[in-house]
């Protein structure tokens, strides 16, 4: 086919990301869209409207040749089980697209029909890392991909031009170091550290949801207010003063008890602890990957919202000598919507082979 239009759709628990690739002859035009949709807060019954809003603002569904789908929304506790979540997402997709054009990515990198996907819910659950890995594997033979999003950090080893992940499910990935539940925006500070230096001592932190990693990175200048796309812990705004008040609350203080310098020092400490979490995982996976490839030095490819201030910094701390920004080897859309872009490209390649 000379002209084709495909869509890559990443249905997350906090964000819906979509990328449309239009092929005209040899030229491919990419266009992406992201919608913040916290499904646990908005409710699963509103997923259909959120999908329609995202997709219809980006593409004419009737002109699509194929749609590739991956998801992590099934992890949300709005669903009792992953099976319920996968089935709900897939059934909702049928109300947006003709079933015949839907292809669902599984953890082995296969594109399944919707019917086959429903029969293998655990194989299609949280498979978006495979789309990212496949995308990078088309460019670099051996490397480690570190994708730091708003919520999690995914580490995807590439060996001999193929995704070489040890873990397939989230549980397996948490066990082997390929998934770290820490991100640029949505991580509870209490999940990053149990104590914080303040007033010439160390205070144990409150385990309440008082502040998020987004507050820390906003205060430190790692992100802008525009980057801070999620809701805040207290439902208030995203000014520096409001962010500082939230961070102070983590040690049961307020802005009358802690000054700007003290709160900034707290943020620097938390940032360092978050980097340590990611660095530890990078070292673990890199060691395994170097053994598999037989190479002494393996490049690290960084992507996601936290690519510069978390992924890149942690890779440096892990001793990586060659660190590559995915945006430099693919395109900006690939860096902003990595799984959705990779999946769209995978679907396009699949169509070409028919």
DSSP letter for each residue of 203-271: EEPP-SS--BHHHHHHHTTSS-TTT--SPPTTS---SHHHHHHHHHHTTT--TTTS-HHHHHHHHHHHH
User: Mapping DSSP to helix (H, G, I), strand (E, B) and coil, where does residue 12 land?
Assistant: coil
Closest by CA to 23, choosing from 46, 49, 5, is 5
Residue 190 near residue 203 (C-beta atoms within 8 A): no
pLDDT of residue 188: 98
Residue 231 near residue 218 (C-beta atoms within 8 A): no
CA distance 112 to 198: 53
Average pLDDT of the chain is: 96
Residues 140-144 have a mean pLDDT of 97
pLDDT of residue 221: 99
> Which residues make Cβ contacts (< 8 Å) with residue 111, sequence separation at least 6?
68, 103, 104, 105, 346, 347, 350
pLDDT of residue 26: 81
Confidence of residue 1 (pLDDT cuts 50, 70, 90): low
pLDDT in tens, 242-286: 999 999 999 999 999 999 999 999 999 999 999 999 999 999 999
Residues 151-163 have a mean pLDDT of 97
Confidence of residue 353 (pLDDT cuts 50, 70, 90): low
CA distance 166 to 255: 46
pLDDT in tens, 13-36: 999 999 999 988 888 899 999 999
Give the burial string for 108-143 (b: 16+ CB within 10 Å, else e).
ebbbbebeebbeebebbbbbbbbbbbbbbbeebebb
pLDDT in tens, 59-110: 999 999 999 999 999 999 999 999 999 999 999 999 999 999 999 999 999 9
Strands 201-204 and 195-198: antiparallel
User: pLDDT exceeding 70 applies to what percent of the chain?
Assistant: 99
Q: DSSP assignment, residue 97? A: S
CB-hemisphere CA count at 13 Å for 283? 12
Q: Which two tokens stand for residue 260?
A: 């700007």
pTM: 0.94
Q: For the chain, list the domains and their CATH numbers.
A: 3-130+333-352 (3.30.420.40), 140-184+275-329 (3.30.420.190), 193-273 (3.30.420.190)
Residues 139-152 have a mean pLDDT of 96
User: pLDDT exceeding 90 applies to what percent of the chain?
Assistant: 93
- Cα distances (Å, whole numbers) of residue 35 to 10, 49, 51, 136, 352: 11, 11, 9, 24, 29
Residues 178-195 have a mean pLDDT of 98
Question: Which helix (DSSP H) or strand (DSSP E) does residue 112 occupy?
Answer: strand 111-112
pLDDT in tens, 311-352: 999 999 999 999 999 999 987 777 788 999 999 999 999 887
CA distance 222 to 215: 10
Tell me which of 2-6, 194-198, 268-272, 308-312 is least confident: 2-6
pLDDT of residue 331: 78
């Amino acid at each position: 086919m000379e002209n084709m239009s495909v869509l890559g759709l990443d249905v997350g628990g906090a964000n819906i990301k979509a990328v449309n690739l239009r092929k005209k002859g040899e030229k491919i035009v990419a266009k992406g869209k992201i919608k913040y949709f916290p499904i646990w807060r908005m409710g699963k019954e509103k997923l259909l409207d959120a999908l329609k809003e995202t997709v219809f603002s980006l593409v004419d569904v009737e002109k699509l040749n194929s749609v590739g789908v991956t998801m992590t929304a099934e992890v949300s506790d709005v669903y009792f089980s992953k099976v319920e979540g996968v089935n709900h997402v897939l059934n909702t997709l049928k109300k947006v697209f003709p079933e015949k054009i839907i292809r669902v990515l599984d953890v082995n990198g296969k594109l399944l029909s919707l019917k086959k996907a429903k029969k293998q819910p655990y194989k299609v659950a949280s498979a978006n890392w495979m789309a990212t890995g496949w995308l990078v594997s088309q460019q670099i033979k051996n490397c480690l991909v570190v994708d730091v999003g708003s919520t999690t950090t995914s580490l995807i080893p590439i060996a001999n031009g193929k995704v070489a992940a040890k873990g397939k499910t989230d549980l397996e990935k948490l066990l082997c170091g390929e998934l770290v539940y820490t991100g640029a925006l949505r991580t509870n500070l209490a999940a990053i550290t149990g104590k914080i230096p303040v007033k010439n001592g160390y205070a144990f932190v409150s385990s309440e949801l008082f502040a998020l990693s987004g507050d820390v990175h906003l205060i430190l200048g790692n992100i802008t207010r525009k980057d801070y796309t999620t809701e805040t812990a207290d439902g208030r705004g995203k000014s520096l003063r409001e962010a500082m008040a939230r961070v102070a609350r983590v040690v049961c203080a307020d802005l009358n008890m802690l000054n700007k310098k003290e709160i900034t020092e707290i943020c620097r400490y938390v940032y360092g602890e978050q980097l340590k979490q990611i660095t530890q995982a990078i070292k673990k996976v890199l060691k395994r990957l170097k053994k598999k490839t037989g190479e002494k030095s393996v490049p690290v490819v960084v992507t996601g919202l936290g690519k510069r201030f978390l992924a890149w910094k942690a890779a440096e701390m892990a001793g990586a000598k060659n660190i590559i920004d995915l945006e430099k080897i693919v395109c900006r859309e690939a860096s902003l919507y990595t799984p959705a872009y990779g999946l769209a490209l995978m679907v396009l390649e699949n169509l070409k082979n028919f």
